[in-house]
Structure 1
Amino acid sequence: MHPALRAFSHKTLFALAAVAAALPAFAAGPIPANPGFEDGLDGWLPRDTMASALPEAARTGKLGLRIADNDTVNGSDFHSSRYPVTPGQELTLTFQARADGNFLVVCFWPTNEAGKPVRIPGKKGDGLASVLVKKQDDGWHPYTLTTTVPPGATAVSVWIHSWSSATGVVDFDDFVLEGIPPGTAPLETVEAMKAASSSAIARYNARRAAEAPPAEIPPRKAPPVIILKLDDLRQTNGKVHHSWTRVADYLKNRSIKSSIGIICETLAEATPEYTGWIRERRDSGLIEFWFHGWDHQVWTDDAGKKWNEFKGRPFDEQWSRFERSQTLAKEKLGFPFAAFGPGGGVGTGSQDGVTAQVMAKDPDMKVWLYPSPVDASGRDLAAAGKVTILDRVWAVNLEAAVGQPAFNRLVVGYAKNPDREYFVLQGHPTHWAGERFREFEKIIDFLVEQNAVFMTPLEYAQSLGGKPARQVGGK
């Protein structure tokens, strides 16, 4: 679910309802209200500071809407007035827009009587009817969006939002919503929407302030060790995806060590080009390749519950996935994996006590990149001395969410953990296009300025001389 789906919460809806109950209904007029923004943002609900009504954003009339998103963590969140609807009702939205990038969509936002979003059955992604506003040229372009109101929906609004880590500018004007009877009044007054917007913007500003890097970084006794944990390498059409060559070349040019998790199923039919790339990078000493699972797939038990690959399976099944992968690694790559990091997918945990038994049995496994707080299974395994457990500080990571590098968030977390000796930083390079890669570069620049020591998982484990990793911090 997109973060803004969760963010448009009961707080906003309750604020709207409370104020609207005490005020007369917003007068009927064009649908949506203030469709050309000639009355500023009246009749619309901005929940952040990215929306403005400006003369330079106008296609017709005096003013138009500009969404200027320079926030690399939070996407824009802007709603029209809500209107009553019934399931099966056909709606058509038209508008004009011009954009400097492909980073923003316009959606229908249907809600039920409780104010919760109603998804379109069977529709992928956010489950909403949407249209991407595309960069074409410097001119205005028309857009059309249609939908059928889904079962359970009692109201609808127009939602304009950008992807969380994307940035850019889009201008809008001349919205027309057809399918709602002429003369239908919005469900909230202008005053109610202004009050709800003020509350939402206050929360947004407070969140931004909390995300802002501190003016000074607390001193450390010694530079931290950084283990870059980059997930999900697999063969793509016989090749290495260009995003992997990009990040590997970038780190090589800066002589920075990293580690990459391989999903091993595609090793069975690996091409010489793919395996050669892995061997060459490993031989350079800059990259350690580790075991990230056989297929990284969620599975469903007999009761219909979903589990991650190494959670809930019996020993024989988990061992088989390790054994097949290690056999292919030795055959195709010329080396066994010495480190393991399980994949996620659903919120049921990524590993269990059985996984610990498998790690203890595998003769080549020496490091476990632990995705959760160290539990009894992990402590017992580490105490036995065979496997080094490297846990994570969730506030100090490459990404705020999967595929979304977040410089500010990492710096804030880093400043709160001055006694932490090492950080395992997880990322997913195949998601790092455009601004996301630049955000990753900012993180690397910061860590270099902090004199961080970049090491691979096995290298760091060996540097401990048989002692367990010191797992402090976690703020």
Structure 2
Amino acid sequence: MLKLLFKSLSVFALFVGGAVSAAESPKVVIWKFDDVRAGEKARLLPGFKKVSAWAVKNKTVISMGVICDSLANPNTDDVAWIKKNAIENGGCVEFWLHAWDHKKIKKPDGTEGSEFNGPDLETQKKYFKDACDIFNKNTQLTFNTFGAPYNQSDENTATAMDICPNLTNWFFGPKDKKRRVLARSINMEVTTGKVSYDKFADAYKAKTPASPLVLQGHVGQWDDQSYKDFVKIADFLSKEGWIAKTPRQWAESLKK
């Protein structure tokens, strides 16, 4: 009875604001869902609404990365959805900065790069500032977490990020004195947009991952089978004692 009561209180505290301490909940899973767009030309894909509904039903939390140039011509309904579902407004989603435009580029040496892997410092600073400003203008929300397109960054990225001091958490970044880095371990997608429960389970059993366990998904590309495998993974982790937090909730729990 006491164990059941403790677990219920822990889950409730997490949902309303991540109040469970790291000592009480050492096994944390962070759902990292990439590529939210909310513009007239690039609309919010149905997969994001589907996984958000799953999170609400299960009284848990998730995080979603925004590609911000879509907000240069915002879709009113999509922006309203972001605001309604933001954890700051009582929803279940922490929205984080994923990209300005998520485009690939050619570096001076001819190799392939991306907006935070190849451009000079001033260009990267502009990407950060423009993305943070346009997101705040449209949603009245502030990013606290960053995750680069293609998970690529270079020697300019950390310095460029200083222009947005609220960015204090970094998905899959290098060691950084100013920010908490959320490392990558095992995957639930075998290729971009394709989830495999069997492959995930094999990797998990081979070596139980450290906490926090960050699991990346491209929910806008999931078919029905990928969604079912995701739910199966989430159920498995719940039975294993993992509790979901957003990046911000996880970082705040470390301060307690």
Partner of 2:19: none
- What is the match of residue 27 of structure 2? 224
1:261 is aligned to 65
Q: Which runs of 4+ in 1 moved over 6 A?
A: none
Q: In the TM superposition, what is the alpha-carbon distance from 1:223 to its structure 2 partner? A: 5.5
For residues 238-273 of structure 1, the C-alpha deviation after alignment (integer angstroms, 9 at most, x for no partner) is 642212111111121111211000000011111221
Matched, 1:309 2:99: no
CA RMSD of aligned residues (A): 2.0
Shift of 1:418: 3.5
Aligned residue among 136, 142, 148 for 1:342: 148
Shift of 1:284: 2.4
- Aligned partners of 1:241 and 1:314: how far apart in 2? 32
Q: 1:302 to 1:354 in 2, by over 3 A?
A: closer
Matched, 1:353 2:150: no
CA distance in 2, matches of 1:397, 1:457: 17
Q: How many angstroms apart in 1 are the aligned matches of 2:179 and 2:80?
A: 29
1:357 maps to amino acid: T
Corresponding position: 1:389 with 2:192: no
Query: How many Å apart are 1:423 and its aligned residue?
Result: 0.5
SS in 1 for 2:59: coil
Q: 1:291 to 1:222 in 2, by over 3 A?
A: closer
Aligned length: 230
1:304 positional shift:
3.1
Cα distance in 2 for residues equivalent to 1:242 and 1:447: 25
Task: Tell me which amino acid in the other structure corresponds to 1:358.
Answer: A
Aligned to 1:447: 237
Residue 426 and residue 408 in structure 1: after superposition, are their counterparts in 2 closer, same or farther (change >3 A)?
A: same
Between 1 and 2, higher relative CO (CA 8 Å, sep ≥ 6) is seen in 2
Determine whether 1:252 maps to 2:56: yes
1:257-311 Cα distance to aligned partner (Å, 9 max, x none): 1100000001111122111100110022411000001011101134432212210
Does 2:35 align with 1:243? no
Structure-1-length-normalised TM-score = 0.46
Alpha carbons of structure 1 residues 223 and 409: separation in structure 2 relative to 1, 3 Å: farther
Pairing partner for 2:216 from 426, 429, 438: 426
SS at match of 1:243: helix
Q: Take 2:250 and 2:160, find their aligned partners in 1: how far apart are those partners? A: 22
Per-residue deviation, residues 64-99 of structure 1 (Å, max 9, x unmatched): xxxxxxxxxxxxxxxxxxxxxxxxxxxxxxxxxxxx
Deviation, structure 1 residue 450: 1.4
CA contact (8 A) 2:25 2:243 kept: no
Secondary structure at 1:249 match in 2? helix
**Aligned counterpart, 1:459:** 249
Shift of residue 341 of structure 1?
0.2
2:71 matches 1:281: no
Deviation at 1:428, TM superposition (A): 0.3
- Matched residue SS, 1:292: strand
Q: Please state how far the C-alpha of 1:446 moved relative to its aligned partner.
A: 0.7
Q: Which residue of 2 aligns with 1:28?
A: none
- Name the structure with the higher helix share: 2
CA distances 1:20-56 after superposition (whole Å, capped 9, x unpaired)? xxxxxxxxxxxxxxxxxxxxxxxxxxxxxxxxxxxxx
Structure with greater strand percent: 1
C-alpha distance after superposition, 1:79-128 (max 9, x if no partner): xxxxxxxxxxxxxxxxxxxxxxxxxxxxxxxxxxxxxxxxxxxxxxxxxx
Q: Quick check: which has more Rg, 1 or 2? A: 1
- CA displacement 1:371-415 (0-9 Å, x = unmatched): 6xxxxxx33x23xxx31111110xx22211111111122222223
The change in CA–CA distance for 1:418 and 1:223 in structure 2 (over 3 A counts) is: farther
Question: What secondary structure, in the 3-state scheme, does the structure 1 residue paired with 2:156 have?
Answer: helix
Contact 2:144 2:166 in 1 (8 A): yes
Structure 2 counterpart of 1:297: 103
- Aligned-partner Cα distance in 1 for 2:140–2:39: 21
SS in 1 for 2:157: helix
Distance 2:57 2:188 in 1: 19
Q: In 2, are the aligned partners of 1:223 and 1:451 still within 8 Å (CA)?
A: no
Aligned partner of 1:368 among 170, 176, 186: 170
Q: 1:322 aligns with which of 92, 107, 128?
A: 128
CA separation of 1:314 and 1:420: change in aligned 2, threshold 3 A = same
Structure 2 unaligned regions, length at least 5: 1-23
Q: Distance in 2 between matches of 1:267 and 1:450?
A: 39
Contact preservation (8 Å) 1:360, 1:387: no
Indicate the SS of the match to 1:353: coil
Going from structure 1 to structure 2, the CA distance change for 1:223 and 1:465 (only over 3 Å counts) comes to closer
**Hey, what's the Cα distance between the residues in 2 that align with 1:275 and 1:419?**
35
Aligned-partner SS, 2:49: helix
Confirm or deny: 8 A CA contact 1:243 1:430 kept in the other structure: yes
Q: CA deviation at 1:451?
A: 2.2
| Partners of 2:52 and 2:92 within 8 A in 1 | no
In 2, are the aligned partners of 1:388 and 1:461 still within 8 Å (CA)?
yes
CA contact (8 A) 2:128 2:163 kept: no
